[in-house]
Structure 1
Protein backbone atom coordinates (compact mmCIF):
# COMPACT_ATOMS: atom_id res chain seq x y z
CA UNK A 1 0.00 0.00 0.00
CA UNK A 2 2.76 2.39 0.87
CA UNK A 3 4.64 1.59 -2.35
CA UNK A 4 1.52 2.21 -4.41
CA UNK A 5 0.97 5.57 -2.76
CA UNK A 6 4.57 6.58 -3.50
CA UNK A 7 4.18 5.57 -7.17
CA UNK A 8 0.99 7.61 -7.43
CA UNK A 9 2.72 10.69 -6.00
CA UNK A 10 5.65 10.33 -8.48
CA UNK A 11 3.20 10.00 -11.36
CA UNK A 12 1.32 13.17 -10.33
CA UNK A 13 4.59 15.13 -10.01
CA UNK A 14 5.64 13.94 -13.45
CA UNK A 15 2.34 15.03 -14.96
CA UNK A 16 2.63 18.52 -13.40
CA UNK A 17 6.19 18.88 -14.68
CA UNK A 18 5.10 17.88 -18.16
CA UNK A 19 2.36 20.55 -18.15
CA UNK A 20 4.85 23.22 -17.01
CA UNK A 21 7.28 22.33 -19.81
CA UNK A 22 4.53 22.38 -22.42
CA UNK A 23 3.35 25.85 -21.31
CA UNK A 24 6.91 27.14 -21.22
CA UNK A 25 7.46 25.94 -24.77
CA UNK A 26 4.27 27.64 -25.93
CA UNK A 27 5.26 31.09 -24.62
CA UNK A 28 7.91 31.89 -27.31
CA UNK A 29 5.45 30.95 -30.02
CA UNK A 30 2.94 33.47 -28.70
CA UNK A 31 5.60 36.13 -28.42
CA UNK A 32 6.80 35.47 -31.95
CA UNK A 33 3.25 35.66 -33.25
CA UNK A 34 2.68 38.89 -31.36
CA UNK A 35 5.94 40.31 -32.70
CA UNK A 36 5.00 39.50 -36.30
CA UNK A 37 1.62 41.06 -35.79
CA UNK A 38 3.20 44.25 -34.44
CA UNK A 39 5.65 44.53 -37.36
CA UNK A 40 2.84 44.11 -39.83
CA UNK A 41 0.86 46.99 -38.35
CA UNK A 42 3.88 49.30 -38.40
CA UNK A 43 4.49 48.49 -42.05
CA UNK A 44 0.90 49.33 -43.00
CA UNK A 45 1.13 52.68 -41.21
CA UNK A 46 4.37 53.57 -43.02
CA UNK A 47 2.89 52.63 -46.39
CA UNK A 48 -0.16 54.81 -45.77
CA UNK A 49 2.00 57.79 -44.78
CA UNK A 50 4.15 57.36 -47.89
CA UNK A 51 1.08 57.17 -50.11
CA UNK A 52 -0.39 60.32 -48.52
CA UNK A 53 2.85 62.24 -49.06
CA UNK A 54 3.03 61.12 -52.67
CA UNK A 55 -0.58 62.17 -53.23
CA UNK A 56 0.05 65.61 -51.74
CA UNK A 57 3.13 66.19 -53.93
CA UNK A 58 1.18 65.18 -57.01
CA UNK A 59 -1.62 67.71 -56.35
CA UNK A 60 -1.48 70.69 -58.78
CA UNK A 61 -0.44 74.12 -57.48
CA UNK A 62 -3.11 76.88 -57.40
CA UNK A 63 -3.34 78.76 -60.70
CA UNK A 64 -4.99 81.96 -61.90
CA UNK A 65 -5.92 83.13 -65.39
CA UNK A 66 -3.14 85.16 -67.03
CA UNK A 67 -3.57 88.89 -67.65
CA UNK A 68 -4.85 89.81 -71.10
CA UNK A 69 -2.60 92.87 -71.58
CA UNK A 70 1.11 92.86 -70.78
CA UNK A 71 2.13 96.47 -71.48
CA UNK A 72 1.00 100.09 -71.78
CA UNK A 73 1.44 102.63 -74.57
CA UNK A 74 3.63 105.70 -74.10
CA UNK A 75 1.49 107.97 -71.95
CA UNK A 76 2.19 111.18 -73.86
CA UNK A 77 1.38 109.45 -77.16
CA UNK A 78 -2.01 108.04 -76.24
CA UNK A 79 -3.81 111.01 -77.82
CA UNK A 80 -3.52 112.26 -81.38
CA UNK A 81 -2.19 115.71 -82.25
CA UNK A 82 -5.65 116.71 -83.44
CA UNK A 83 -7.26 115.73 -80.14
CA UNK A 84 -4.63 117.62 -78.18
CA UNK A 85 -5.13 120.66 -80.42
CA UNK A 86 -8.85 120.59 -79.69
CA UNK A 87 -8.59 120.07 -75.93
CA UNK A 88 -5.39 121.94 -74.99
CA UNK A 89 -4.68 124.22 -77.98
CA UNK A 90 -1.92 126.27 -76.30
CA UNK A 91 0.02 123.29 -75.00
CA UNK A 92 3.43 122.72 -76.55
CA UNK A 93 4.10 119.27 -75.16
CA UNK A 94 2.97 116.86 -72.50
CA UNK A 95 4.65 116.33 -69.16
CA UNK A 96 5.25 112.66 -68.45
CA UNK A 97 4.84 111.52 -64.87
CA UNK A 98 7.51 109.57 -63.01
CA UNK A 99 7.17 105.79 -62.90
CA UNK A 100 9.52 103.00 -61.86
CA UNK A 101 7.70 100.61 -64.20
CA UNK A 102 6.19 102.17 -67.32
CA UNK A 103 4.70 98.83 -68.35
CA UNK A 104 2.50 98.89 -65.24
CA UNK A 105 1.67 102.56 -64.65
CA UNK A 106 2.09 105.76 -66.61
CA UNK A 107 0.58 109.22 -66.97
CA UNK A 108 0.97 112.43 -68.93
CA UNK A 109 -0.49 115.92 -68.47
CA UNK A 110 -0.93 119.01 -70.62
CA UNK A 111 -1.59 122.70 -69.73
CA UNK A 112 -3.14 125.31 -71.98
CA UNK A 113 -3.65 129.02 -71.24
CA UNK A 114 -5.16 131.21 -73.95
CA UNK A 115 -4.40 134.69 -72.64
CA UNK A 116 -6.52 137.45 -74.19
CA UNK A 117 -5.21 140.30 -72.04
CA UNK A 118 -7.94 142.52 -70.58
CA UNK A 119 -10.56 140.29 -72.20
CA UNK A 120 -9.60 137.43 -69.92
CA UNK A 121 -8.13 134.00 -70.46
CA UNK A 122 -9.22 130.44 -71.08
CA UNK A 123 -7.47 127.74 -69.10
CA UNK A 124 -7.49 124.00 -69.85
CA UNK A 125 -5.80 121.09 -68.07
CA UNK A 126 -5.71 117.50 -69.31
CA UNK A 127 -4.28 114.37 -67.74
CA UNK A 128 -4.27 110.73 -68.84
CA UNK A 129 -3.19 108.05 -66.40
CA UNK A 130 -3.06 104.26 -66.91
CA UNK A 131 -2.66 101.43 -64.47
CA UNK A 132 -2.14 97.80 -65.51
CA UNK A 133 -2.72 94.86 -63.18
CA UNK A 134 -1.06 91.43 -63.16
CA UNK A 135 -2.78 88.20 -62.19
CA UNK A 136 -1.74 86.89 -58.80
CA UNK A 137 -2.69 83.76 -56.87
CA UNK A 138 -3.19 85.82 -53.70
CA UNK A 139 -5.00 88.85 -55.16
CA UNK A 140 -6.78 87.06 -57.97
CA UNK A 141 -7.20 87.56 -61.74
CA UNK A 142 -5.87 90.79 -63.22
CA UNK A 143 -9.20 91.87 -64.72
CA UNK A 144 -10.94 91.42 -61.35
CA UNK A 145 -8.32 93.61 -59.66
CA UNK A 146 -8.75 96.20 -62.41
CA UNK A 147 -12.51 96.22 -61.98
CA UNK A 148 -12.23 96.79 -58.25
CA UNK A 149 -9.82 99.67 -58.86
CA UNK A 150 -12.11 101.07 -61.56
CA UNK A 151 -14.98 101.23 -59.07
CA UNK A 152 -12.76 102.93 -56.50
CA UNK A 153 -11.64 105.57 -59.01
CA UNK A 154 -15.24 106.38 -59.86
CA UNK A 155 -16.13 106.68 -56.18
CA UNK A 156 -13.15 108.97 -55.54
CA UNK A 157 -14.17 111.23 -58.44
CA UNK A 158 -17.68 111.46 -57.02
CA UNK A 159 -16.46 112.44 -53.56
CA UNK A 160 -14.03 115.32 -54.23
CA UNK A 161 -14.09 117.81 -51.37
CA UNK A 162 -15.73 121.10 -52.29
CA UNK A 163 -17.25 119.78 -55.52
CA UNK A 164 -20.64 121.19 -56.55
CA UNK A 165 -23.30 119.87 -58.94
CA UNK A 166 -21.70 116.40 -59.18
CA UNK A 167 -23.21 114.15 -61.85
CA UNK A 168 -22.28 110.69 -63.11
CA UNK A 169 -23.19 108.74 -66.23
CA UNK A 170 -22.08 105.58 -68.03
CA UNK A 171 -20.00 105.95 -71.19
CA UNK A 172 -20.92 103.25 -73.71
CA UNK A 173 -18.49 102.12 -76.39
CA UNK A 174 -15.37 102.78 -74.33
CA UNK A 175 -13.55 99.65 -73.21
CA UNK A 176 -15.32 97.03 -71.14
CA UNK A 177 -16.90 99.64 -68.86
CA UNK A 178 -16.60 103.39 -68.40
CA UNK A 179 -18.14 106.10 -66.22
CA UNK A 180 -18.00 109.87 -66.56
CA UNK A 181 -18.17 112.19 -63.55
CA UNK A 182 -18.57 115.96 -63.75
CA UNK A 183 -18.60 118.69 -61.12
CA UNK A 184 -17.72 122.33 -60.49
CA UNK A 185 -14.96 123.48 -58.19
CA UNK A 186 -14.69 127.12 -57.17
CA UNK A 187 -11.24 128.64 -56.80
CA UNK A 188 -10.13 132.20 -56.20
CA UNK A 189 -9.29 132.53 -59.93
CA UNK A 190 -12.71 131.31 -61.05
CA UNK A 191 -14.99 128.29 -61.33
CA UNK A 192 -13.30 125.23 -62.75
CA UNK A 193 -15.46 122.66 -64.52
CA UNK A 194 -14.04 119.20 -64.03
CA UNK A 195 -14.70 116.18 -66.22
CA UNK A 196 -13.34 112.75 -65.23
CA UNK A 197 -13.77 109.64 -67.34
CA UNK A 198 -12.72 106.33 -65.81
CA UNK A 199 -12.56 103.35 -68.18
CA UNK A 200 -11.48 99.73 -67.87
CA UNK A 201 -10.28 97.59 -70.76
CA UNK A 202 -9.37 94.06 -69.67
CA UNK A 203 -6.74 94.44 -66.91
CA UNK A 204 -5.99 98.14 -67.52
CA UNK A 205 -7.73 101.16 -65.99
CA UNK A 206 -7.55 104.50 -67.82
CA UNK A 207 -8.44 107.70 -65.94
CA UNK A 208 -8.79 110.88 -67.97
CA UNK A 209 -9.16 114.24 -66.19
CA UNK A 210 -10.08 117.35 -68.12
CA UNK A 211 -11.03 120.72 -66.70
CA UNK A 212 -11.45 124.26 -67.89
CA UNK A 213 -12.16 127.75 -66.58
CA UNK A 214 -12.64 131.30 -67.77
CA UNK A 215 -10.18 133.54 -65.94
CA UNK A 216 -9.82 137.30 -65.43
CA UNK A 217 -13.44 137.93 -66.34
CA UNK A 218 -13.68 135.62 -69.33
CA UNK A 219 -16.80 133.46 -69.53
CA UNK A 220 -16.81 129.90 -68.22
CA UNK A 221 -16.57 127.11 -70.79
CA UNK A 222 -19.57 124.89 -71.47
CA UNK A 223 -19.56 121.80 -69.24
CA UNK A 224 -21.33 119.83 -71.97
CA UNK A 225 -18.63 120.73 -74.50
CA UNK A 226 -15.88 119.79 -72.07
CA UNK A 227 -17.54 116.45 -71.34
CA UNK A 228 -17.97 115.69 -75.02
CA UNK A 229 -14.25 116.30 -75.59
CA UNK A 230 -13.30 114.26 -72.49
CA UNK A 231 -15.32 111.24 -73.64
CA UNK A 232 -13.76 111.40 -77.09
CA UNK A 233 -10.24 111.56 -75.62
CA UNK A 234 -10.94 108.71 -73.19
CA UNK A 235 -12.12 106.46 -75.99
CA UNK A 236 -8.94 107.29 -77.91
CA UNK A 237 -6.74 106.48 -74.89
CA UNK A 238 -8.47 103.13 -74.40
CA UNK A 239 -7.91 102.29 -78.06
CA UNK A 240 -4.21 103.13 -77.62
CA UNK A 241 -3.98 100.55 -74.83
CA UNK A 242 -5.52 97.88 -77.03
CA UNK A 243 -3.31 98.82 -79.98
CA UNK A 244 -0.18 98.62 -77.83
CA UNK A 245 -1.06 95.00 -77.06
CA UNK A 246 -1.86 94.05 -80.63
CA UNK A 247 -5.62 94.03 -80.05
CA UNK A 248 -6.37 96.44 -82.86
CA UNK A 249 -8.39 98.70 -80.65
CA UNK A 250 -11.21 96.17 -80.55
CA UNK A 251 -12.17 96.95 -76.96
CA UNK A 252 -12.57 100.62 -77.76
CA UNK A 253 -15.50 99.72 -79.94
CA UNK A 254 -17.38 98.49 -76.92
CA UNK A 255 -17.04 94.73 -77.32
CA UNK A 256 -17.35 93.22 -73.83
CA UNK A 257 -14.67 90.99 -72.40
CA UNK A 258 -15.26 87.58 -70.87
CA UNK A 259 -14.51 88.89 -67.40
CA UNK A 260 -17.41 89.12 -64.92
CA UNK A 261 -19.25 92.41 -64.74
CA UNK A 262 -18.93 92.43 -60.96
CA UNK A 263 -15.55 91.46 -60.02
CA UNK A 264 -6.96 94.30 -56.09
CA UNK A 265 0.06 95.85 -57.49
CA UNK A 266 -1.59 97.87 -54.44
CA UNK A 267 0.70 100.82 -53.73
CA UNK A 268 1.31 101.27 -57.43
CA UNK A 269 -2.34 102.10 -57.97
CA UNK A 270 -2.25 105.28 -55.95
CA UNK A 271 1.09 106.43 -57.38
CA UNK A 272 -0.04 106.27 -60.98
CA UNK A 273 -3.61 107.41 -60.99
CA UNK A 274 -4.82 109.02 -57.80
CA UNK A 275 -2.15 111.73 -57.74
CA UNK A 276 -2.89 113.00 -61.26
CA UNK A 277 -6.60 113.05 -60.43
CA UNK A 278 -5.87 115.08 -57.33
CA UNK A 279 -3.69 117.49 -59.29
CA UNK A 280 -6.55 118.06 -61.72
CA UNK A 281 -8.58 119.73 -59.01
CA UNK A 282 -5.66 121.58 -57.40
CA UNK A 283 -3.27 122.69 -60.12
CA UNK A 284 -5.66 125.07 -61.99
CA UNK A 285 -5.81 127.40 -59.01
CA UNK A 286 -2.04 127.83 -59.10
CA UNK A 287 -0.85 127.64 -62.68
CA UNK A 288 -3.17 130.21 -64.31
CA UNK A 289 -2.40 132.76 -61.61
CA UNK A 290 1.29 132.45 -62.30
CA UNK A 291 0.86 133.03 -66.02
CA UNK A 292 -1.91 135.62 -66.22
Structure 2
Protein backbone atom coordinates (compact mmCIF):
# COMPACT_ATOMS: atom_id res chain seq x y z
CA UNK A 1 0.00 0.00 0.00
CA UNK A 2 2.78 2.38 0.91
CA UNK A 3 4.68 1.38 -2.22
CA UNK A 4 1.59 2.05 -4.44
CA UNK A 5 1.08 5.50 -2.88
CA UNK A 6 4.69 6.43 -3.46
CA UNK A 7 4.50 5.36 -7.07
CA UNK A 8 1.31 7.36 -7.60
CA UNK A 9 2.98 10.45 -6.17
CA UNK A 10 5.88 10.13 -8.63
CA UNK A 11 3.47 9.71 -11.60
CA UNK A 12 1.53 12.85 -10.65
CA UNK A 13 4.74 14.84 -10.21
CA UNK A 14 5.98 13.82 -13.68
CA UNK A 15 2.61 14.61 -15.21
CA UNK A 16 2.76 18.13 -13.74
CA UNK A 17 6.11 18.96 -15.38
CA UNK A 18 4.79 19.61 -18.91
CA UNK A 19 2.10 21.91 -17.52
CA UNK A 20 4.70 23.99 -15.68
CA UNK A 21 6.93 24.13 -18.77
CA UNK A 22 3.96 25.15 -20.91
CA UNK A 23 3.07 27.99 -18.57
CA UNK A 24 6.67 29.07 -18.42
CA UNK A 25 6.85 28.95 -22.21
CA UNK A 26 3.76 31.18 -22.52
CA UNK A 27 5.23 33.64 -20.10
CA UNK A 28 8.47 33.72 -22.09
CA UNK A 29 6.66 34.22 -25.44
CA UNK A 30 4.59 37.00 -23.96
CA UNK A 31 7.76 38.75 -22.84
CA UNK A 32 9.29 38.41 -26.29
CA UNK A 33 6.20 39.85 -27.97
CA UNK A 34 6.19 42.76 -25.59
CA UNK A 35 9.88 43.39 -26.15
CA UNK A 36 9.46 43.04 -29.92
CA UNK A 37 6.55 45.47 -30.06
CA UNK A 38 8.43 47.89 -27.92
CA UNK A 39 11.37 47.65 -30.31
CA UNK A 40 9.14 48.40 -33.28
CA UNK A 41 7.72 51.48 -31.64
CA UNK A 42 11.18 52.70 -30.78
CA UNK A 43 12.39 52.14 -34.35
CA UNK A 44 9.37 53.93 -35.83
CA UNK A 45 9.82 56.92 -33.58
CA UNK A 46 13.54 57.12 -34.19
CA UNK A 47 13.27 56.86 -37.98
CA UNK A 48 11.23 59.99 -38.58
CA UNK A 49 11.21 61.09 -42.26
CA UNK A 50 13.62 63.93 -42.99
CA UNK A 51 12.05 67.21 -44.07
CA UNK A 52 11.81 67.60 -47.83
CA UNK A 53 14.33 70.05 -49.25
CA UNK A 54 12.68 73.39 -49.86
CA UNK A 55 12.83 74.63 -53.46
CA UNK A 56 15.19 77.54 -54.09
CA UNK A 57 13.52 80.89 -53.56
CA UNK A 58 12.76 82.71 -56.81
CA UNK A 59 13.88 86.28 -57.28
CA UNK A 60 11.30 88.95 -56.62
CA UNK A 61 9.96 90.67 -59.72
CA UNK A 62 11.72 94.00 -60.26
CA UNK A 63 8.56 95.75 -61.44
CA UNK A 64 5.23 95.31 -59.70
CA UNK A 65 3.05 97.48 -61.94
CA UNK A 66 2.65 98.80 -65.47
CA UNK A 67 2.26 102.36 -66.66
CA UNK A 68 -0.94 103.49 -68.34
CA UNK A 69 -0.04 102.79 -71.99
CA UNK A 70 -2.16 105.71 -73.20
CA UNK A 71 -0.07 108.04 -71.00
CA UNK A 72 3.32 106.37 -71.47
CA UNK A 73 4.21 108.64 -74.42
CA UNK A 74 4.30 112.41 -74.27
CA UNK A 75 1.85 114.43 -76.36
CA UNK A 76 4.77 115.85 -78.33
CA UNK A 77 5.85 112.32 -79.23
CA UNK A 78 2.37 111.45 -80.48
CA UNK A 79 2.35 114.63 -82.57
CA UNK A 80 5.61 113.57 -84.20
CA UNK A 81 4.85 109.89 -84.69
CA UNK A 82 1.15 110.18 -85.57
CA UNK A 83 0.50 113.61 -87.12
CA UNK A 84 -3.15 114.62 -87.00
CA UNK A 85 -4.03 111.77 -84.64
CA UNK A 86 -7.79 111.32 -84.32
CA UNK A 87 -7.46 111.09 -80.55
CA UNK A 88 -4.17 112.13 -78.99
CA UNK A 89 -5.17 110.45 -75.72
CA UNK A 90 -5.25 107.10 -77.54
CA UNK A 91 -7.63 104.16 -77.40
CA UNK A 92 -6.94 101.68 -74.64
CA UNK A 93 -7.61 97.98 -75.18
CA UNK A 94 -9.71 96.03 -72.70
CA UNK A 95 -7.82 93.74 -70.34
CA UNK A 96 -8.82 91.43 -67.50
CA UNK A 97 -5.55 92.15 -65.71
CA UNK A 98 -4.09 95.60 -66.33
CA UNK A 99 -1.24 94.80 -63.94
CA UNK A 100 0.00 92.15 -66.40
CA UNK A 101 -1.12 93.29 -69.84
CA UNK A 102 -2.09 96.69 -71.19
CA UNK A 103 -2.08 98.40 -74.58
CA UNK A 104 -3.13 101.57 -76.37
CA UNK A 105 -3.26 102.67 -80.03
CA UNK A 106 -3.36 105.84 -82.10
CA UNK A 107 -4.01 106.56 -85.79
CA UNK A 108 -4.20 109.62 -87.97
CA UNK A 109 -4.44 110.81 -91.57
CA UNK A 110 -2.37 113.87 -92.40
CA UNK A 111 -3.78 115.37 -95.59
CA UNK A 112 -1.81 117.78 -97.76
CA UNK A 113 -4.45 118.63 -100.29
CA UNK A 114 -3.59 117.73 -103.85
CA UNK A 115 -0.23 116.33 -102.69
CA UNK A 116 -2.01 113.43 -101.07
CA UNK A 117 -2.20 112.07 -97.50
CA UNK A 118 0.05 110.28 -95.06
CA UNK A 119 -1.47 107.65 -92.80
CA UNK A 120 0.16 106.55 -89.53
CA UNK A 121 -0.83 103.91 -86.98
CA UNK A 122 0.86 103.24 -83.65
CA UNK A 123 0.23 100.55 -81.03
CA UNK A 124 1.99 100.30 -77.68
CA UNK A 125 1.70 97.15 -75.54
CA UNK A 126 3.11 96.17 -72.15
CA UNK A 127 3.51 92.68 -70.69
CA UNK A 128 4.63 92.11 -67.09
CA UNK A 129 5.67 88.74 -65.66
CA UNK A 130 5.80 87.58 -62.04
CA UNK A 131 8.01 84.85 -60.59
CA UNK A 132 6.18 81.52 -60.39
CA UNK A 133 7.34 78.30 -58.76
CA UNK A 134 6.39 76.11 -61.73
CA UNK A 135 6.97 78.63 -64.55
CA UNK A 136 10.25 80.22 -63.48
CA UNK A 137 11.56 83.61 -62.50
CA UNK A 138 9.92 86.85 -63.61
CA UNK A 139 12.88 87.84 -65.79
CA UNK A 140 13.05 84.42 -67.43
CA UNK A 141 9.36 84.51 -68.26
CA UNK A 142 9.70 88.04 -69.65
CA UNK A 143 12.62 86.94 -71.82
CA UNK A 144 10.48 84.11 -73.20
CA UNK A 145 7.73 86.62 -74.06
CA UNK A 146 10.31 88.92 -75.63
CA UNK A 147 11.54 86.16 -77.95
CA UNK A 148 7.96 85.21 -78.75
CA UNK A 149 7.09 88.77 -79.82
CA UNK A 150 10.21 89.08 -82.00
CA UNK A 151 9.38 85.84 -83.82
CA UNK A 152 5.77 86.90 -84.18
CA UNK A 153 6.82 90.13 -85.89
CA UNK A 154 9.14 88.23 -88.25
CA UNK A 155 6.30 85.89 -89.19
CA UNK A 156 3.76 88.61 -90.05
CA UNK A 157 1.49 87.42 -92.87
CA UNK A 158 2.47 88.69 -96.34
CA UNK A 159 5.51 90.50 -94.92
CA UNK A 160 8.19 91.34 -97.50
CA UNK A 161 11.84 92.30 -97.10
CA UNK A 162 11.89 91.41 -93.40
CA UNK A 163 14.94 92.75 -91.61
CA UNK A 164 15.65 92.31 -87.88
CA UNK A 165 18.46 93.86 -85.89
CA UNK A 166 19.34 94.76 -82.32
CA UNK A 167 18.47 98.20 -80.93
CA UNK A 168 20.36 100.08 -78.26
CA UNK A 169 19.02 102.04 -75.32
CA UNK A 170 15.81 100.06 -75.06
CA UNK A 171 16.33 98.28 -71.75
CA UNK A 172 18.03 94.92 -71.23
CA UNK A 173 17.14 93.67 -74.72
CA UNK A 174 15.87 95.32 -77.87
CA UNK A 175 15.11 94.24 -81.43
CA UNK A 176 13.65 96.10 -84.39
CA UNK A 177 11.83 94.24 -87.16
CA UNK A 178 11.25 96.20 -90.37
CA UNK A 179 9.15 94.97 -93.30
CA UNK A 180 6.54 96.02 -95.83
CA UNK A 181 3.06 94.65 -96.57
CA UNK A 182 1.20 95.12 -99.84
CA UNK A 183 -2.49 95.96 -99.39
CA UNK A 184 -4.37 98.54 -101.44
CA UNK A 185 -1.16 100.54 -101.01
CA UNK A 186 2.25 99.71 -99.60
CA UNK A 187 2.38 99.74 -95.79
CA UNK A 188 5.81 100.15 -94.26
CA UNK A 189 6.00 98.55 -90.83
CA UNK A 190 8.35 98.77 -87.89
CA UNK A 191 8.05 96.67 -84.73
CA UNK A 192 10.24 97.39 -81.72
CA UNK A 193 10.35 94.72 -79.02
CA UNK A 194 12.17 95.67 -75.82
CA UNK A 195 12.64 94.06 -72.41
CA UNK A 196 13.41 95.86 -69.19
CA UNK A 197 13.71 93.37 -66.31
CA UNK A 198 10.35 91.56 -66.09
CA UNK A 199 8.46 93.85 -68.48
CA UNK A 200 8.24 93.53 -72.27
CA UNK A 201 7.38 96.54 -74.42
CA UNK A 202 6.08 95.95 -77.96
CA UNK A 203 5.65 98.97 -80.23
CA UNK A 204 4.07 98.48 -83.65
CA UNK A 205 4.26 101.40 -86.06
CA UNK A 206 3.33 101.64 -89.72
CA UNK A 207 2.75 104.23 -92.38
CA UNK A 208 1.26 104.45 -95.86
CA UNK A 209 0.77 107.10 -98.54
CA UNK A 210 -2.51 107.86 -100.31
CA UNK A 211 -3.63 109.88 -103.30
CA UNK A 212 -0.25 110.24 -104.90
CA UNK A 213 1.71 111.20 -101.79
CA UNK A 214 5.30 110.02 -101.58
CA UNK A 215 5.94 106.70 -99.83
CA UNK A 216 6.93 106.98 -96.15
CA UNK A 217 10.66 107.08 -95.44
CA UNK A 218 11.39 103.73 -93.77
CA UNK A 219 14.52 105.07 -92.08
CA UNK A 220 12.46 107.90 -90.53
CA UNK A 221 9.77 105.45 -89.42
CA UNK A 222 12.41 103.32 -87.69
CA UNK A 223 14.02 106.35 -86.04
CA UNK A 224 10.67 107.57 -84.66
CA UNK A 225 9.71 104.07 -83.50
CA UNK A 226 12.96 103.55 -81.58
CA UNK A 227 12.63 106.97 -79.91
CA UNK A 228 9.06 106.17 -78.83
CA UNK A 229 10.12 102.72 -77.56
CA UNK A 230 12.86 104.26 -75.40
CA UNK A 231 10.29 106.61 -73.89
CA UNK A 232 7.93 103.70 -73.21
CA UNK A 233 10.70 101.72 -71.48
CA UNK A 234 11.52 104.73 -69.29
CA UNK A 235 7.83 105.03 -68.34
CA UNK A 236 7.95 101.55 -66.76
CA UNK A 237 10.63 102.57 -64.29
CA UNK A 238 8.89 105.89 -63.60
CA UNK A 239 5.54 104.21 -62.88
CA UNK A 240 7.09 101.81 -60.36
CA UNK A 241 9.03 104.56 -58.58
CA UNK A 242 5.83 106.55 -58.31
CA UNK A 243 3.99 103.59 -56.84
CA UNK A 244 6.77 102.99 -54.31
CA UNK A 245 6.55 106.60 -53.15
CA UNK A 246 2.76 106.69 -52.77
CA UNK A 247 2.49 104.91 -49.38
CA UNK A 248 4.98 107.36 -47.86
CA UNK A 249 3.18 110.43 -49.14
CA UNK A 250 -0.20 109.07 -48.03
CA UNK A 251 0.89 108.00 -44.55
CA UNK A 252 -1.04 109.81 -41.76
CA UNK A 253 0.67 112.69 -40.03
CA UNK A 254 1.53 112.18 -36.34
CA UNK A 255 -0.90 113.85 -33.95
CA UNK A 256 0.32 116.87 -32.06
Mark yes or no: TM-score above 0.5. Answer: yes
SS of alignment partner, residue 83 of structure 1 = helix
CA deviations 1:163-212 (Å, max 9, x no partner) are 10000001122111011000000111x10100000011111110001111
Within-5 A mapping of 1:6-155: 13=11, 16-17=14-15, 19-44=17-42, 46-48=44-46, 51-52=48-49, 55-56=50-51, 60=54, 63-91=57-85, 92-93=87-88, 94-155=90-151
The runs of 5 or more residues in structure 1 that have no matched partner are 248-292
Q: Find the counterpart in structure 2 of residue 168 from structure 1.
A: 164
| 2:192 is the alignment partner of 1:192 | no
CA deviations 1:14-67 (Å, max 9, x no partner) are 663353244134222222222212321342354257x33xx54x8647743221
Q: Find the counterpart in structure 1 of residue 207 from structure 2.
A: 212
| 2:230 is the alignment partner of 1:239 | no
CA deviations 1:206-257 (Å, max 9, x no partner) are 000111111111110111111011111101100100111129xxxxxxxxxx
Between the aligned partners of 2:100 and 2:56, the Cα distance in structure 1 is: 24
SS of alignment partner, residue 124 of structure 1 = strand
**Pairwise CA RMSD of aligned residues?**
2.5
The size of the alignment, in residue pairs, is 239
Between the aligned partners of 1:205 and 1:47, the Cα distance in structure 2 is: 53
From the two aligned structures, give the one with the greater helix fraction. 1
SS of alignment partner, residue 154 of structure 1 = helix
Within-5 A mapping of 1:255-270: none
| 2:224 is the alignment partner of 1:226 | no
TM-score (norm 1): 0.74
Between the aligned partners of 1:66 and 1:113, the Cα distance in structure 2 is: 44
Between the aligned partners of 1:129 and 1:18, the Cα distance in structure 2 is: 100
1:105 CA drift (Å): 1.5
